[in-house]
Structure formats: structure tokens, C-alpha cells
A and B are shown apart, each in its own frame.
Chain A
Amino acid sequence: MEENKQYRLSELISLVKGVLDANLNTYFYVIGEISNYNGIEPNKHLYPRLIERRNGVITAEIKTCIFRGSVYQLSEFERKTGLKFENGIEVLLKVKVELHPIYGLSLIMNSIDHNYTLGKIQDEKLKTLIRLEKEKVIRLIEPGVYETNNKKLDRPFVIQRIALISSVNTKGYSDFKAALLENKYGYKFTLTDFPAMMQGNDAAKSMLSQLQAIDKRQEEYDAVAIIRGGGDDTGFICFDDYELSKAVANYKLPIITGIGHEQNKSIVDMVANIFTMVPAMAAKSIIEHNKDFENSIVELGHQIANASKEVIDSERHELVELDGRLKHGFKLLIQNEKDTLNQLIRDVKNFSPENTLARGYAIITFEGNILNDTKLLKSGNKIKTITSSSIIESNITKIEKRNGNINL
């Protein structure tokens, strides 16, 4: 450039452009906050502004151009980060500086760095986790797994009365309802809606206030379901909110989440009693929980039946045994009586006179009678001695008193 020389405007811009091109003719990365963004319009280039603030005051600003061929990257960014591409978010853009003769200086966006934003989200999440841990709201068990009061809660045997925090009539809401109410086991459920905003800046506050509302009617519910899903795949940052996460972690009713995102678990997911990926899964986990209870009841029934069978069988055995003992005892008793009777018969036989004579005894008769008293006898009397084989008649020659011994 020559001093004091006159240039045409186009020449000047061309010169500036030449300087720029010589020094900045390459893609590089720039950090900035999105501003003046009005959403995607089909087949149109977008011209948001990239700004920088210091203490809330804008200290730098530049027009940014996203050509329509690059617009798809915004949706990709939202899908990968789970964050809505909107005014106020900080992003890392790969850009090139361009100077246009009419539109002036602007940045041409080549791509958005998802990892930068993911890192920022992760940093925030990590900070919240550390804070919750420090305040003993959560307790690390193993990497990524935390113990909380809500997780330690005993679930009721059956979960039937459910307080539902969701955005009514969204896809996630109807998915959850359908899966729950049309379950194949025919279980009945009572769902009570606690409508809340499930994305955006006020979502965490909105859910928190519904949790407080449910808390006042705690006895009316078995569990709380936090359901979101379908449609928009962004705005999950509210589920990493410190206040909301703390409330869920300490909540008195078991909380089941089905937030429906493919990213890492949110903090709310990590601290809730039951975590599932999507609304239908949340419904399924409740149904399965109830099915477990039914199974245990059926199993108990079988155990009772088997125990009853055992009792009956053992009584049957006892009865058969008693019957056997009865018959045996009866036989023995009859046999005993017979034996006793036979002995008596034998005894009677033994004491008959013939049997006595056979053993060597004799009967003496005197004057036709059995002699029982020898005082009646005198020498010279005639007596008869009857033995087993003969009758002997004899005359008495001598009578002596006996001294007690038998001396033959």
C-alpha cells in the first residue's frame, strides 16, 4: 500500500482481502457463543453471529456463515452432544475468515467440534458429581456407579400406583403409557400425570416442583416415573442439574427413569432407584418387577402344596403301619390266649387219677371208700391197693406213726 494514494473502494477491499488471504488463508478453530440464531430454514444459508462476553458484556462479535451444505452438521451436533444448538451455547467452530466486498468480514463455518462441547458438558457434570459426593448425597461404589438413598429404598412388592412426571402427549409419554397399560399379564396400573417441561432452561425447575408436589401425597403412590423420549433428541442437560439430581437422590419414593437418550447416563439416571434407557423399557421394568412378585407367590404356593403332600403321605404311611401293628397285635393276643387255654387243658389232664397212678402213686380203699383217714384202721383189717395196673388185696399186720420222712 502506498501512502496518500487514492484507491477505489473495490481496490481497497481487494487489497485487504489480499492481506487476509496471505496470512489467514487456512481453516482454524475459534471458540465463541452462538447469537442471533433463528433456527434452521430449509435450503437456506444461515447467518448466526459468534460473540464473546466478559462479565456479561459482549466484547467481540462477528458474522458467521453456515452454508446450506453444512447445515446438516447442526442436527448432527445435537444428536451427538444431546445439546440443542441454540443461542447462548459455547461452541468450537472450524472456520476460515472471509472478506466480502459487500457483506464484509465474516467467518465461514467448516465444521463444529462435538468433542469440545461434550467435554464442556462432561466437565460440568463432573463438577456436579464431585459436589454431590462432597455433600454425601451420593457415594461412589465403583467407577460410574453411585449409592444413594433413593437406590437403597425397598421397592414395594408390587408397583401399581405411579406418579408420572412427563410432558403429556409426547411420544415418550404415550410409549410409556401404552407399554404399561397393555401389558401381557393383565396387571392393572393407576397413572397420575404430573406434567412438566422435559427440556429447555426451565425443565429442571419444572420437574423439581412436580417432585415436591408428589412428595406431599407420598402415600398415594408406589413409585415415580420420570419419562421423556421420542422426537427431539436434545436438551438432556437438565437431567444433570444439581438441584434436580439431589432431590432425586434423596427422594422417599423409588424413582424410575426412562429419559430416552443414547448418550452417557445423566446424573438423574445415576442416582435414581431404577434406570432404563427409554420409556418403554421403564414400563417393562415395572411390569417385570410385578411379575417377579407373582412368580414368588406361585412358587410359595408350590412349596405349600409339596409340604401338604408330604404331611398327607407321612400320615398315610403311619396309618398303614398302625393297621399292620393292629393285625399283628391281634394275632399275638389270640395266640397267647390259645396257649394259656392249652396249658390249662394239659394241667387238667395231668391231675387226673389215671395220670397220677401212672406216675407210681396208688389209691387205697377200705370198706369200699377211698382211705383218707388211717385212724379208722386196725391190725387185721382188709384193704385194697389200686395201682395203675392191678388191685392188691392185703391184711394189715402193723400200723406205725410216720415221722415225716419217706423211707421205703
Chain B
Amino acid sequence: MATLTYKKASEELQKIVSDIEDGKVSIDNLYAKLERAKELIEICQSKLKQTDGEVKKLLAKK
């Protein structure tokens, strides 16, 4: 999971969302998909936060 890039995570998340929207997910898989989606959102959020922090740190330097 740690090696998952932002791009990969975001792409996987988009696929799950559109699958759910298109009704391609069965009730049997739905919970698992939802759990995965939540996990992916967390990965993306933490990566964004980290990058944002690094950018701010770089800017603070002079």
C-alpha cells in the first residue's frame, strides 16, 4: 500500500466510483469496494497533505 502512487490510487478510486455509478458492482462486492474506496481516499488525502506541507516548508526557507 505504501508504494501505491497518488496517480494509481486516484485512478483506482475513479474506477470504483464509475463502476458503482454504472451499477456494475454486485451487492456481494459492494461492501468490499466501499472499504477499498475509503482506503484510497485516505491514501490520496494524506499524500496531498504531505505534499502541501513540503511545498510550504520549501517556501518558508530563504
Residues on A facing B (Cβ under 8 Å):
301-302, 305, 308-309, 312, 315-316, 318-319, 322-323, 325-326, 328-330, 332-334, 336-337
What are 27 pairs between A and B in contact, CB < 8 Å? A301-B58, A301-B59, A305-B58, A312-B48, A312-B52, A315-B48, A316-B48, A318-B10, A319-B44, A319-B48, A322-B13, A322-B17, A325-B17, A325-B21, A326-B13, A326-B16, A326-B20, A326-B34, A326-B37, A329-B17, A329-B21, A330-B20, A330-B30, A332-B21, A333-B25, A333-B27, A337-B27
- Main SS at interface, chain A: helix
**10 cross-chain pairs, A with B, having the tightest CB-CB distances, nearest first:** A329-B20, A329-B21, A308-B55, A325-B17, A305-B59, A326-B17, A312-B52, A326-B37, A319-B44, A322-B17
B3 smallest CB distance to A (angstroms): 19
User: Cβ of A322 and Cβ of B20 under 8 Å apart?
Assistant: no
- Which residues of A have CB within 8 Å of B14? 322
User: Cβ of B48 and Cβ of A333 under 8 Å apart?
Assistant: no
- A326-B17, A336-B23 known; A319 and B41 CB under 8 Å? yes
Select from chain B the residue with minimum beta-carbon distance to A336: B23
- Which residues of B have CB within 8 Å of A316? 48
User: Cβ of A315 and Cβ of B44 under 8 Å apart?
Assistant: yes
In whole angstroms, what is the CA distance A337 to B6 when docked?
A: 33
User: Cβ of A322 and Cβ of B27 under 8 Å apart?
Assistant: no
In whole angstroms, what is the CA distance A146 to B27 when docked?
A: 83
User: Cβ of A309 and Cβ of B55 under 8 Å apart?
Assistant: yes
Select from chain B the residue with minimum beta-carbon distance to A324: B17
In whole angstroms, what is the CA distance A329 to B17 when docked?
A: 7
* Contact-residue bracket for chain B: 20 to 34
In whole angstroms, what is the CA distance A318 to B48 when docked?
A: 12
User: Cβ of B34 and Cβ of A330 under 8 Å apart?
Assistant: yes
Would you list which residues of chain B between 3 and 35 have a CB under 8 Å from chain A?
6, 10, 13-14, 16-17, 20-21, 23, 25, 27, 30, 34
Given contacts A326-B34, A329-B20, 18 further A-B contacts (CB under 8 A): A301-B59, A302-B59, A305-B55, A309-B52, A312-B51, A312-B52, A312-B55, A315-B10, A315-B48, A318-B10, A319-B45, A323-B41, A326-B16, A326-B37, A333-B20, A333-B23, A334-B27, A334-B30
User: Cβ of A308 and Cβ of B34 under 8 Å apart?
Assistant: no
User: Cβ of B41 and Cβ of A333 under 8 Å apart?
Assistant: no
Select from chain A the residue with minimum beta-carbon distance to B51: A312
In the complex, which of the residues A302, A315, A337 has the most CB atoms of chain B within 10 Å of its own CB atom?
A315
A112 smallest CB distance to B (angstroms): 59
A222 smallest CB distance to B (angstroms): 25
In whole angstroms, what is the CA distance A301 to B62 when docked?
A: 10
In whole angstroms, what is the CA distance A323 to B10 when docked?
A: 11
